[in-house]
């Protein structure tokens, strides 16, 4: 007997779920670092251009493809792309929509468990950076090194399970308990609670940071206003130039495009899956825009005002610059050590990061669960068990090869950076050229609370966004890929990590192959069903 179709209970529920998927560590840690290193305030010009021409169009493309696929009863990326592309090859392309979320989940859940560990350690007062301020930075780095085991591979399981592994087990189990409960009772209900809680925690920390004033009278320059200035004052990328020259720097545009793509969670196949649970007359245009606006609020209004100014106030300009992990797990604990009531705000901050991470990691599981149910015709319990086993093995690989976070870094590069660009480009090409821009516009108009202009689909999504994406991707590969290929040539953990990705890809391709036999006869039937209200496909 066919199982009842799953749907979102409320419109705000799907918005919270998509926004929860998008809001993650990148909003609070990656964005401020990218802005400071790429021109400060001037970074926002290429950032908003990328949002308009790249982020929002790809989001709309995913929502549209997902809704059209959901009408046919499909919820997974291979099934939706295969049905809408009307060719079996698209089933196999859709395997990328299973690979990306699975591999990203494998390492993301580990980072998520660090956030939980920090939150618990702050709550229990177990983070001790000593009494001498001169030692704070070194002791914070030492705490992080011991927590994640960056000194040597295998440290996490040497001589019994490391306490960090227990945090990983709790985090991993929590994800699967929530995902087992399904779309409306699990993901939607949790995101409806987690998103407002996250906003409250972030606002509490923001108020604390903005009211710090000048905490050390001996250093009057290190005050909140100068901290905000360090983040937002436009500055040249190269010393000696005018800040306007930053706009002529391709790397600034590239960084902005990468940040938008990363922050909106496009190119993972997640939004497509979530949108497939909408009802035919549900709005997608306003819902998509609201989810993107929520994500931007967390990123620009909270991430942009908290992290860098707080670090600047206590540590000065040199302490306020760093990568995502450096800023989040090394620098900020030092900031909380200096800050009055730092233990409370440290807990709030890391608990908020944990909520941000779990709403994202949940979204990474659902597309694969949907695929397993569709492809193997198994129930929720079996699909959750299969995915649990696959991701647990992958995640243990990341935990074991913890030295310098080499495994995590390699998996992130090839999937969280390269892979999402590839899938995002294929999705926009699917919408603009295969499914049809006019047909896509017609799907978007069904139940639309905002009517997007036709040219947004027929010009921007058909020509401008794909060209923008391809250009960005080519430049990015040109600058970044050689260094990673050299690392791979040396063998060791990076090569092994690529082996893990390839193994998972082969696994998913085999599953898609099995499933496509079942889906094949359905393709002909779906050819006409996807037409919307008699609209014409002019592509």
> Which positions touch another protein (CB under 8 A)?
11-12, 15, 40-42, 44, 48, 225-226, 228-229, 231-234, 243, 279, 281-283, 286-287, 289-290, 293-294, 296-297, 300-301, 304, 447-450
Nearer to another protein, 248 or 301 (CB): 301
Rounded Cα distance, 419 and 405, in Å? 20
By the 8 A CB rule, do 343 and 143 touch?
no
Q: Strand, coil or helix: what is 169?
A: helix
Q: In whole angstroms, how close is the CB of 38 to another protein at the nearest point?
A: 13
* First vs last C-alpha separation in the chain: 39
Q: In whole angstroms, how close is the CB of 169 to another protein at the nearest point?
A: 37
Q: In whole angstroms, how close is the CB of 367 to another protein at the nearest point?
A: 25
Q: In whole angstroms, how close is the CB of 230 to another protein at the nearest point?
A: 9
How many other CB atoms sit within 10 Å of the CB of residue 447?
17
Across 502-525, b (16+ Cβ under 10 Å) vs e yields eebbeebbebbeebbeebeebbee
Q: In whole angstroms, how close is the CB of 253 to another protein at the nearest point?
A: 16
Q: In whole angstroms, how close is the CB of 248 to another protein at the nearest point?
A: 17
By the 8 A CB rule, do 359 and 179 touch?
no
Q: In whole angstroms, how close is the CB of 122 to another protein at the nearest point?
A: 29
Q: Which of 425, 432, 532 is nearest to 67 (CA)?
A: 532
By the 8 A CB rule, do 56 and 465 touch?
no
Nearer to another protein, 52 or 138 (CB): 52
Q: In whole angstroms, how close is the CB of 195 to another protein at the nearest point?
A: 12
Q: In whole angstroms, how close is the CB of 59 to another protein at the nearest point?
A: 13
Nearer to another protein, 112 or 282 (CB): 282
Alpha-carbon distances of 170 from 175, 177, 294, rounded to whole Å: 9, 10, 28
Q: In whole angstroms, how close is the CB of 236 to another protein at the nearest point?
A: 12
Nearer to another protein, 147 or 264 (CB): 264
Nearer to another protein, 449 or 536 (CB): 449
By the 8 A CB rule, do 170 and 120 touch?
no
> In degrees, to the nearest 5, what angle opens at C-alpha 399 toward C-alphas 396 and 405?
140
Nearer to another protein, 177 or 207 (CB): 207
Q: In whole angstroms, how close is the CB of 444 to another protein at the nearest point?
A: 13
Residue with tokens 């310098």: 404
How many other CB atoms sit within 10 Å of the CB of residue 125?
10
Q: In whole angstroms, how close is the CB of 100 to another protein at the nearest point?
A: 27
Residue with tokens 């949907």: 370
Find the radius of gyration of the CA atoms of the chain.
23
Nearer to another protein, 11 or 139 (CB): 11
Residues with Cβ < 8 Å from 17, sequence gap 6 or more? 8, 187, 188, 191, 274, 359, 363
By the 8 A CB rule, do 298 and 27 touch?
yes
Residue 404 has which token pair? 């310098």
Rounded to 5 degrees, φ, ψ at 216 are: -115, 105
By the 8 A CB rule, do 532 and 442 touch?
yes
Nearer to another protein, 44 or 454 (CB): 44
Rounded Cα distance, 70 and 73, in Å? 5
Q: In whole angstroms, how close is the CB of 298 to another protein at the nearest point?
A: 10
Q: Which of 427, 58, 448 is nearest to 287 (CA)?
A: 448
Nearer to another protein, 66 or 436 (CB): 66
Q: In whole angstroms, how close is the CB of 252 to another protein at the nearest point?
A: 14
Nearer to another protein, 279 or 527 (CB): 279
Rounded Cα distance, 38 and 261, in Å? 17
Nearer to another protein, 240 or 521 (CB): 240
Nearer to another protein, 129 or 231 (CB): 231
Nearer to another protein, 299 or 374 (CB): 299
By the 8 A CB rule, do 221 and 318 touch?
no
Residue 372 has which token pair? 């397993």
Residue 395 has which token pair? 């995640």
Rounded Cα distance, 441 and 25, in Å? 33
Handedness of CA 55, 57, 63, 66 (dihedral sign): negative
Nearer to another protein, 294 or 307 (CB): 294
By the 8 A CB rule, do 274 and 65 touch?
no
């Amino acid at each position: 007997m066919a199982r009842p179709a799953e749907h979102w209970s409320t419109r705000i529920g799907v918005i919270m779920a998509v926004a929860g998927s998008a809001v993650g560590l990148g909003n609070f840690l990656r964005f401020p670092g990218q802005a400071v290193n790429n021109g400060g305030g001037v970074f926002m010009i290429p950032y908003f251009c990328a949002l308009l021409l790249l982020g929002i169009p790809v989001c709309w493309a995913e929502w549209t493809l997902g809704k059209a696929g959901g009408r046919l009863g499909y919820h997974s990326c291979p099934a939706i792309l295969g049905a809408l592309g009307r060719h079996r090859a698209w089933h196999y392309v859709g395997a990328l929509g299973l690979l990306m979320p699975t591999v990203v989940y494998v390492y993301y859940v580990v980072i998520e468990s660090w956030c939980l560990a920090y939150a618990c350690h702050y709550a229990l007062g177990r983070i001790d950076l000593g009494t001498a301020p001169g030692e704070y930075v070194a002791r914070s780095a030492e705490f992080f090194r011991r927590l994640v085991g960056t000194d040597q591979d295998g440290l996490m399981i040497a001589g019994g399970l490391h306490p960090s592994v227990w945090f990983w087990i709790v985090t991993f189990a929590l994800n699967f308990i929530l995902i087992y409960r399904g779309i409306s009772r699990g993901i939607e209900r949790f995101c409806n609670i987690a998103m407002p809680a996250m906003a409250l925690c972030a606002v509490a920390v923001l108020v604390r940071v903005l009211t710090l004033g000048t905490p050390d009278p001996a250093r009057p320059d290190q005050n909140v206003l100068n901290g905000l200035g360090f983040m937002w004052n436009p500055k040249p990328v190269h010393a000696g130039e005018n800040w306007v020259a930053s706009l002529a720097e391709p790397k600034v545009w590239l960084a902005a495009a990468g940040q938008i793509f990363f922050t909106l969670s496009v190119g993972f196949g997640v939004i497509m899956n979530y949108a497939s649970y909408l009802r035919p007359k549900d709005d997608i245009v306003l819902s998509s825009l609201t989810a993107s606006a929520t994500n931007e609020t967390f990123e620009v209004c909270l991430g942009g005002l908290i992290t860098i100014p707080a670090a600047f106030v206590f540590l000065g300009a040199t302490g306020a610059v760093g990568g995502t992990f450096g800023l989040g797990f090394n620098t900020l604990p030092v900031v909380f050590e200096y800050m009055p009531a730092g233990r409370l705000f440290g807990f709030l901050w890391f608990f908020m990061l944990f909520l941000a991470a779990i709403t994202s990691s949940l979204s990474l599981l659902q597309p694969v669960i949907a695929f397993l149910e569709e492809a193997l015709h198994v129930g929720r319990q079996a699909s959750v068990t299969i995915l649990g086993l696959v991701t647990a093995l992958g995640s243990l690989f990341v935990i074991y090869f913890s030295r310098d976070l080499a495994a995590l870094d390699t998996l992130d590069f090839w999937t969280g950076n390269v892979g999402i660009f590839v899938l995002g480009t294929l999705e926009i090409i699917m919408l603009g050229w295969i499914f049809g821009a006019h047909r896509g516009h017609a799907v978007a108009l069904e139940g639309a609370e905002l009517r997007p202009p036709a040219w947004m689909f027929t010009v921007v999504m058909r020509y401008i966004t794909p060209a923008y994406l391809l250009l960005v991707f080519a430049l990015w590969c040109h600058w970044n890929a050689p260094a990673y290929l050299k690392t791979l040539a040396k063998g060791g953990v990076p090569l092994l990590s690529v082996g893990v990705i390839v193994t998972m890809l082969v696994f998913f391709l085999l599953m898609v192959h099995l499933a496509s036999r079942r889906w094949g006869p359905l393709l002909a039937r779906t050819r006409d069903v996807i037409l919307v209200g008699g609209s014409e496909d002019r592509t």
